[in-house]
Amino acid sequence: MSDPSTSPRVRSLPWDAPRACVLGDVMLDAYMWGSVTRQSPEAPVPVVDIAQRERRVGGAANVVKNLHALGAQVDLISVVGQDGPGQELQHLLEGMCRPHLIVDAHRPTTVKTRVISDEKHVLRVDEESTEWISDALVAKALDALDQVLSGPNRPDVVVVEDYDKGMMSPAMVKGALARCREAGVPVAVDPKFRQFGLYEGVALFKPNLKELNEGLRLKVAAHPEHAGAMKEAVEALMSQLQCERLMVTLSEHGTWMHAPLEGIHHQHLPALPRDIKDVSGAGDTVIAVAALLLASGCDSSLLAAVSNMAGGWVCERVGVVPISKSELEKEWCRLFPDDTLSP
């Protein structure tokens, strides 16, 4: 066996053609770009003269877009409305994944419209329903998951994207986790606090700081500037969920990783200096990168570092922009020229 200290450093990400399955709330992201030239005479609000419009995949579908850009083969299981935005999502997803979109005639497809002027958000309008999907739709979604897990393109990782829009009902969460455990497929979860207690035993749980505090219902919020309180909150959540890894994204404060099974205890990675323009979609990029590194057997320290870097890269771009595998490798080499990306 060669001495690892003399082995050549590998500068590429540790995957070739990984397979992933995304399960969660999809949405349509609508953008309206323009310029503000005056105030409205009807109310103290700006008037935006719209010059450009665009529609993109959002929510769990944006995680699919990120995984596809990173070189993964992706299955997507979700629910859409029987409406124009649902059909548009189906069209936009072509070429990115194998979509398993279940139609619910009683709910609208979620649409988030952002109005942007001079690279700054002026307004966001949400059209959605957050009611739990019916038991009948849960059964259809779980059937689709069974087919994916037992099929020829069995995923290396399942990514749960819980945006609290109704897809990830208690029955859906419990059924999906049971099937993944039986199939031996690791699960990475990007949660919302309403469902925290249901995601027991997952391989990676990734809340942000706000979700951590809300999920634990802390009277005094934990913050990375107060390491003791942060450690206590992270350990409380890990004790509750019995997850293998807990990674908390901290916005401008970076990332907090706790993976005691690997001997990694409360590792705080500061945010890298960035020219922040738009934080939209950063969490989707983080979970996509983290999930593929998890599936590749990467250690949690490197998983957190690469994911942290990727999230910052996205924040330097206006709109929801995925990072490709080659761009991620290039950025790592630029920032960390002496470090390897191999597990």
Catalytic residues: 284
CB 325 within 8 A of CB 70: yes
**Nearest to residue 159, comparing CAs of 300, 328, 292?**
292
DSSP 105: T
User: Which backbone phi and psi does 308 adopt, to 5 degrees?
Assistant: -60, -45
**Cα–Cα distance, 247 to 313 (Å, whole number):** 18
Q: How many residues does the chain have?
A: 343
Q: Cα 204 to the chain's mean position, in Å?
A: 12
Write out the two tokens for 137. Answer: 């739709």
**Cα–Cα distance, 318 to 273 (Å, whole number):** 17
- Could you give the dihedral angle defined by the CA atoms of residues 235, 236, 240 and 243, in that order, rounded to the nearest 10 degrees? -20
Angle at 294 between CA 204 and CA 17, to 5 degrees: 140
In the beta sheet, which residues pair with residue 26? Answer: 59
CB 200 within 8 A of CB 216: no
